[in-house]
Structures are given as C-alpha cells and as structure tokens.
C-alpha cells in the first residue's frame, strides 16, 4: 500500500517538476532593460534583478521574492521564476531579490526557513540596500505557495527582531501554504483531487519538509494529529477554526472534521507540525498585529485557498490592513505559468493583479 502511494507521489512530482522546470536553469543573462546577477547573501544564493537607473531618481523600491515548489522543487533560476521576477523588476521599476534556498531532500525544516531569513536580513542591512540603491522604506517580502509560507514566517520573525533598523513595508503572499493542523478545511475537501496539487501530495510535501514518514499520511489526512485528546494542539485550535474565520462563500456546506481521540505521538515525534516557523497561521495575535500591510492571493480551485483566507481574517482582526484577492476560476500555481508551452490566461490575470497591488502600495 505504501509503495503504491509512494509511486503515485513520485509520478506526480516528476510531472510537476517538468512543468515548473520546463527549461534548464538559466544563466544570469542581463538584457538592455534588466541587469541580472547571481550573488551570495550570508551564505545563501540569490538572483538579483536590477532595472536601469533613471536620471530623476536616486533610490528604487524592492521585493524579496521566495519561490514555491513544496520546499522541494523549482529554483530562482528556472525560466518560470526568472521570467516572473524579470517582469516584476520591469513593471515596478524595482530591485527584485529572488532567494535560492536549499531544497528537500538536501535539507528539511528548519533549514529552508533559515536560508530565507538569513538572505532577507542580509539584504535589509543599510549598507547592502545602499549598494543596490534601494529605498529602505519601500521593501516588500513576497512568495508563492511554499515560498509564501517562508515569506510569512520570515515576516513574523523580522517583526520580533529588535535589532533591525529596516523592516519590510509590505508582505504579498500568493496562494500560501500556512498550516498543517487541519487537512479537512472546506478547500481541502472541495479540491482533494484537483490537478497540480491534490490533497495527498500536499500532505506528503509536509511530511518531507518536516522529515516525517509517509506512513503517517493517513493519520494526518483524517486530523488524528490534532484530535481533542492531543493536549499540545488544543491551545492552537481557535487560531485555525475555519467555521469562524472563513466567509460563507468559502465554507459552503462543508463540515469540520475533528477527531475525539487521535494519535498524540505524532506531534511528539514531529514537533514542527505545531512550530510557528513552519506553520505561520499558528502565530499569536500579538505577533500578527506587528505584521506589515498584507496582500493574499487565493484561487478557488486550490486546497490551500482557506489557508490564505484564514490568515487574511486573522491579520485583519489583529488590525493589519489586508487585501484578499480571490480568483474564482483559477488554480494553484497558475501565476508562474505564463511562458509557452504553459502560458495560461489564469497566470497572466493573477500576475497582473498582484503586480498592480504592489505598484499601488509599495
């Protein structure tokens, strides 16, 4: 049974990896419009996109971008992300720093988080910002999917760092994965077999990220790890109560799946399941209140839709200005698929809306 499950997952990852890595990694080839260079920020590889200087301006705005791919796939250098960041740099006339964090299976949590945090903190140093002619008051942290997870976690940590002199003005999260507490939210139930990111694949991404075992997949799927008898999970339950956090149009007629008796040993063996650095939606209200103005993009046909919507609600209740940009006819991962042979109208539509928000708010 587990072998069949593993083979299904392996086949899915091969197909998804082909889509994301449609072409080989691109070298840092600059154009007349954008200078592209590879650098190392505090031991972490990054790719920097710089638009040409204009005569009437001294400093540029900037976006730190963290790519998706289940903490296991893709790269800042693949064509799809290279293209996205180049277009962002051109459209916003902004310096874009794309973080090349290490991936599963080379490393697991918390190393991806530490890579993203180290690279971001290095960039936020005043002398580094000056080197790239970046306005310290106009910086955004952004990412999609697993990159949205890392962006949210990094933003939360930056808000607690008293030594920082520069903080991000905005965070922009694209269909972020934000919790491993409840795999039966309405969007997980509605889209459990949706192509690109079925529920079992997302669960296995989590298992790989936190260095677990595929044998636990079914326990996670039925929420045995957060049953009512799991003491460590009880204190977090209200922070992920989708019945109070989601609008009726998201809840539809779905019912919560809450086990009375589950398997407490799971969170004992895998404490990252309840670690806020891995699961940003578990953050307390005081941490959320310190977050910058936030943009959250969600897609109807996506198991992660409710992760983003719940985070938007919690941030809003904590007093943070939030824009929830929901697309009824789009799917997980669509924003990077704008290059032939995977050039989808959904990708262009979501990308344009995201860039428009950044342009108006950064």
- For range 324-350, the mean pLDDT: 91
Mean pLDDT of the chain: 92
- Residue 87's nearest CA partner among 319, 348, 281 is 348
Q: What is the pLDDT of residues 208-227, one digit of tens each?
A: 999 999 999 999 999 999 99
pLDDT of 340 over the 90 cut = no
264-to-182, 212, 214, 304 alpha-carbon distances in Å: 15, 15, 17, 25
Structure confidence at residue 16 (pLDDT): 54
Tell me the three state secondary structure of residue 37. strand
Structure confidence at residue 30 (pLDDT): 63
Angle at 98 between CA 45 and CA 316, to 5 degrees: 130
Assess whether 161 and 78 both reside in one domain. yes
pLDDT of 342 over the 90 cut = no
CA 1 to the chain's CA centroid: 31
Assess whether 83 and 167 both reside in one domain. yes
Structure confidence at residue 58 (pLDDT): 85
Catalytic residue among 75, 145, 159, 187: 145
Q: What is the pLDDT of residues 15-67, one digit of tens each?
A: 555 555 544 566 666 666 899 999 999 999 999 999 998 766 789 999 999 99
Catalytic residue among 302, 306, 307, 325: 302
Assess whether 162 and 30 both reside in one domain. yes
Q: Are the beta carbons of 149 and 280 closer than 8 angstroms?
A: yes
Q: How confident is the model at residue 1 (pLDDT cuts 50, 70, 90)?
A: very low
Assess whether 39 and 98 both reside in one domain. yes
Q: Which of 242, 257, 272 is the last residue of a domain?
A: 272
Structure confidence at residue 28 (pLDDT): 62
Neighbour-count burial for 240-263, b at 16+ CB within 10 Å, e otherwise: bebeebbeeebbeebeeeebeebb
d(CA 355, CA 125): 25
Structure tokens at 305: 């839709």
Structure tokens at 37: 């260079």
Assess whether 171 and 44 both reside in one domain. yes
CA 270 to the chain's CA centroid: 21
Q: If you search the block for the tokens 């957060």, which residue do you land on?
A: 226
Whether 302 is a known active-site residue: answer: yes
Q: Which of 254, 272, 290 is the last residue of a domain?
A: 272
Assess whether 296 and 233 both reside in one domain. no
Q: If you search the block for the tokens 């949210």, which residue do you land on?
A: 152
Q: Are the beta carbons of 188 and 252 closer than 8 angstroms?
A: no
Assess whether 298 and 318 both reside in one domain. yes
Q: Which domain holds residue 125?
A: 1-180+277-360
Q: DSSP class of residue 196?
A: S
Number of residues written out for the chain: 362
Q: How confident is the model at residue 4 (pLDDT cuts 50, 70, 90)?
A: very low
d(CA 234, CA 321): 29
Q: If you search the block for the tokens 């806020």, which residue do you land on?
A: 276
Structure confidence at residue 349 (pLDDT): 96
The number of distinct structural domains making up the chain is 2
Structure confidence at residue 27 (pLDDT): 65
- The pTM score is 0.93
Question: CB 272: neighbour CB atoms within 10 A?
Answer: 19
Query: Where are any strands of DSSP class E within 54-162?
Result: 60-66, 94-100, 134-144
Assess whether 146 and 15 both reside in one domain. yes
Structure confidence at residue 2 (pLDDT): 43
d(CA 117, CA 209): 17
Structure confidence at residue 339 (pLDDT): 78
Helices (H), 235-296: 242-245, 248-251, 265-269, 285-289
Q: What is the pLDDT of residues 148-206, one digit of tens each?
A: 999 999 999 999 999 999 999 999 999 999 999 999 999 999 999 998 999 999 999 99
CATH code, domain with 72: 3.40.50.1820
Q: If you search the block for the tokens 């299976």, which residue do you land on?
A: 105
Assess whether 137 and 264 both reside in one domain. no
- For range 324-329, the mean pLDDT: 97
Whether 332 is a known active-site residue: answer: yes
In DSSP terms, which residues pair with 295 in a beta bridge?
A: 172, 323
Assess whether 59 and 140 both reside in one domain. yes
- Could you give the percent of the chain with pLDDT greater than 70? 91
Q: How confident is the model at residue 82 (pLDDT cuts 50, 70, 90)?
A: very high
- For range 325-342, the mean pLDDT: 90
d(CA 268, CA 265): 5
Query: φ, ψ for residue 291 (rounded to 5)?
Result: -80, 150
d(CA 204, CA 208): 6
Assess whether 80 and 121 both reside in one domain. yes
Tell me the three state secondary structure of residue 127. helix
Question: CB 59: neighbour CB atoms within 10 A?
Answer: 15
Assess whether 154 and 207 both reside in one domain. no
Neighbour-count burial for 344-353, b at 16+ CB within 10 Å, e otherwise: bebbebbbee
Angle between helices 2-20 and 199-209 (to 10 degrees): 90
362-to-80, 86, 94, 239, 357 alpha-carbon distances in Å: 23, 17, 10, 29, 8
């Amino acid at each position: 049974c587990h072998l069949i499950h593993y083979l299904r997952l392996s086949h899915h990852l091969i197909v998804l990896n082909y889509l994301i890595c449609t072409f080989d990694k691109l070298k840092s080839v600059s154009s007349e419009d954008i200078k592209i260079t590879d650098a190392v920020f505090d031991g972490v590889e990054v790719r920097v996109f710089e638009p040409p200087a204009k005569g009437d301006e001294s400093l540029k705005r900037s976006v730190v971008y963290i790519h998706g791919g289940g903490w296991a796939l893709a790269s800042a250098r693949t064509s799809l992300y290279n293209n996205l960041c180049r277009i962002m740099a051109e459209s916003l006339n902004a310096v874009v720093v794309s973080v090349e964090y290490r991936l599963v299976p080379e490393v697991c949590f918390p190393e991806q988080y530490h890579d993203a945090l180290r690279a971001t903190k290095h960039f936020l140093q005043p002398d580094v910002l000056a080197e790239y002619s970046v306005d310290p008051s106009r910086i955004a942290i952004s990412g999609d999917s697993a990159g949205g997870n890392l962006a949210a976690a990094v933003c939360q940590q930056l808000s607690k760092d008293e030594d920082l002199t520069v903080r991000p003005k905005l965070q922009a999260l694209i269909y972020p994965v934000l919790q491993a507490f409840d795999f039966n939210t309405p969007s997980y139930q509605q889209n459990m077999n949706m192509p690109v990111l079925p529920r079992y694949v997302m669960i296995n991404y989590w298992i790989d990220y936190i260095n677990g075992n595929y044998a636990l997949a079914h326990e996670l799927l039925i929420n045995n790890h957060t049953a009512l008898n799991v003491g460590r999970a009880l204190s977090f339950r209200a922070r992920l109560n989708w019945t109070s956090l989601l609008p009726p149009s998201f809840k539809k007629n779905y019912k919560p799946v809450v086990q009375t008796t589950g398997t407490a040993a799971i969170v004992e063996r895998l404490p990252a399941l309840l670690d806020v650095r891995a699961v940003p939606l578990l953050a307390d209200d005081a941490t959320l209140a310190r977050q910058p103005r936030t943009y959250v993009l969600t897609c109807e046909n996506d198991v992660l839709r409710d992760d983003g919507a719940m985070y938007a609600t919690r941030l809003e209740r904590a007093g943070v200005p939030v824009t929830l940009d929901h697309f009824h006819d789009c799917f997980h991962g669509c924003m990077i698929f704008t290059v032939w042979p995977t050039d989808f109208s959904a990708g262009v539509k979501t990308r344009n809306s995201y860039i428009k928000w950044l342009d108006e708010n950064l």
